[in-house]
Chains A and B, each alone.
Chain A
């Protein structure tokens, strides 16, 4: 996977900032994408478009708060292909895996700036910042989770289980 970074240094970018509850009266991804990150940065979409970014980098405890899957759904529908943060809140983390949005725990986010080009290999556990020409090891994804991502999310994983039974 290769993409350009859009970065927010803030810690605790919570689910209310990612998708405010006032927009949860509809579930369609287009609607959610439109309001994604609105309460954190009203110019999120414009910045993202100017950078042509698809990799979101955030501070620790990313996605804390609600269980609303609308948070990762809105990011994915807005064109984000991967989220990198030092730590993630656990429900956001599992929701992202379940919809096959890769989330990468990486402690030193100072190594990335908005506009940097990253090359990521999840299977090998390797990340290259092509802009700074630096290479990093990232945590290998546990087998169980790899399997879910490989099947493009929990729905396909479950379909297989259901027909096995």
Chain B
């Protein structure tokens, strides 16, 4: 019986060549990541683990620290958390600490910087670490204790997950993106539909998807409870790596006779752009239905680790170009990294956004988790390209968040109610 890509990567990182789905392993990790919310606790854990020994961090080049959540420091308490992280990074000579001004939203930044490669075992103290499965890595979110221990041992424990294979086929309607497919998928299987499972995305539609769309889909695997999202590397992956001059990596692929917990075929020809209603990502509905409801919103957010890449900004800019943001709307655009920001300036997208009346923010997770840079008042509604619409997620506990693609968000910013470009 063959193996899935997820089983193969985990097996090769454990000391046991026979482990299969369901087995527990203590595996060697290639990289680990923490941010300003999760690093302070991880650092305490690390200190506790190495106390009384002469050991330091397991590898100076394999720990990545990104102050991206409540940055630029939103208040004194956040500033203290960032300082803890910075002091630790300097004291331990961590090479991949990204100071504010060079940092970006971690899951946009790390692939951009070539810090994750196919075949790697990557853990991050951030649930959306599952994003990097788009490159054929096994990448998953963990907590701060896992991270602190990993910084000392270079290891983490795992239960090898069974996989669910998703096969996407057909011809996509205009304006349907990776975001729409993942919202549709979560709508079908539910927010716990893939709990403890690897979500392996396959099929002709995935084959033809850009890396940006692939990152978006893998990013939201956690919103279905998945342990990781993963895509078998192909020519698109290799092209992406070539552009970054990365040529050292190991390609794993699922065997044709690999065993899956379940195989789900999704015929995509009839799928419309999707909008997830409050307060769960599984509450997705087709835009034709939503458009008729004329749901007026107060804020539109275009950005985040889900949709803050250049391709996302381009789609939004092309729709917004030569138009004005609706007078009732605050539209906040957040480029994922400084490099994306610069490219968006060069290509004229930033000018388009500002001339239309939108806000363009420095890269930050900010509003996505109700941190800062776009908090909702009591009773306000937002349409956002982020990944979570839990109760109170973007601000007041009685505010509401709807989720969509950048195209739907841009059209909504112009109209004032939730719609997509086909209705403009």
Q: Do A and B bind each other?
A: yes
Binding site for B on A (CB under 8 A): 12, 14, 16-17, 20-22, 24-27, 39, 60-61, 64-70, 72-73, 87, 89-91, 94-95, 98-99, 142-145, 148, 153-155, 157-159, 161-163
Tell whether B7 is near chain A: CB-to-CB under 8 Å. no
Whether A153 and B145, one on each chain, are in contact in the complex, defined by CB atoms closer than 8 angstroms, is yes
Shortest distance between the CB of A125 and any CB in chain B (Å): 18
Rounded to whole angstroms, the CA-CA distance of A67 and B222 in the bound complex is 10
- Give me 28 A-to-B residue pairs in the complex whose CB atoms sit less than 8 angstroms apart, sorted by A's number: A12-B191, A12-B192, A12-B280, A16-B390, A17-B391, A21-B371, A24-B70, A25-B74, A25-B75, A25-B81, A27-B44, A27-B81, A39-B391, A61-B191, A67-B38, A67-B124, A69-B41, A69-B125, A89-B225, A90-B195, A91-B222, A94-B157, A142-B24, A153-B145, A154-B149, A158-B149, A159-B49, A161-B155
Shortest distance between the CB of B353 and any CB in chain A (Å): 26
B residues 249-264 near A (Cβ < 8 Å) are none
B residues 328-385 near A (Cβ < 8 Å) are 369-371
Using known A-B contacts A67-B141, A91-B141, A162-B49, determine if residue A24 contacts B37 with beta carbons closer than 8 Å.
yes
B residues 133-189 near A (Cβ < 8 Å) are 141-146, 148-149, 152-153, 155, 157
Whether A158 and B127, one on each chain, are in contact in the complex, defined by CB atoms closer than 8 angstroms, is no
Select B192's contact among A21, A22, A61, beta carbons within 8 Å: A61
Shortest distance between the CB of A23 and any CB in chain B (Å): 9
Whether A25 and B24, one on each chain, are in contact in the complex, defined by CB atoms closer than 8 angstroms, is no
Shortest distance between the CB of B230 and any CB in chain A (Å): 15
Rounded to whole angstroms, the CA-CA distance of A21 and B37 in the bound complex is 9
Using known A-B contacts A26-B77, A67-B38, A67-B125, determine if residue A162 contacts B145 with beta carbons closer than 8 Å.
no
Residues on the A chain within 8 Å of B155, using CB:
161
Rounded to whole angstroms, the CA-CA distance of A50 and B222 in the bound complex is 36
Whether B393 and A64, one on each chain, are in contact in the complex, defined by CB atoms closer than 8 angstroms, is no
Interface size of B by CB at 8 A reads 55
Residues on the B chain within 8 Å of A12, using CB:
191-192, 280
Whether A20 and B392, one on each chain, are in contact in the complex, defined by CB atoms closer than 8 angstroms, is yes
Tell whether B55 is near chain A: CB-to-CB under 8 Å. yes
Shortest distance between the CB of A17 and any CB in chain B (Å): 7
Q: Which residue of A lies closest to B78 (CB)?
A: A25
Whether B225 and A64, one on each chain, are in contact in the complex, defined by CB atoms closer than 8 angstroms, is yes
Tell whether B126 is near chain A: CB-to-CB under 8 Å. yes
Rounded to whole angstroms, the CA-CA distance of A69 and B141 in the bound complex is 11
For A25, A98, A142, A155, the residue with the greatest tally of chain B CB atoms inside 10 Å of its CB is A25
Shortest distance between the CB of A68 and any CB in chain B (Å): 7
Residues on the A chain within 8 Å of B37, using CB:
21, 24, 68, 70
Tell whether B48 is near chain A: CB-to-CB under 8 Å. yes
5 extra A-B contacts, CB within 8 A, seeds A67-B142, A155-B48: A21-B37, A27-B40, A90-B225, A155-B49, A157-B149
Whether A91 and B142, one on each chain, are in contact in the complex, defined by CB atoms closer than 8 angstroms, is yes
Shortest distance between the CB of B329 and any CB in chain A (Å): 24
Residues on the B chain within 8 Å of A155, using CB:
45, 48-49, 145, 148-149
Tell whether B115 is near chain A: CB-to-CB under 8 Å. no
For A60, A68, A90, A155, the residue with the greatest tally of chain B CB atoms inside 10 Å of its CB is A90
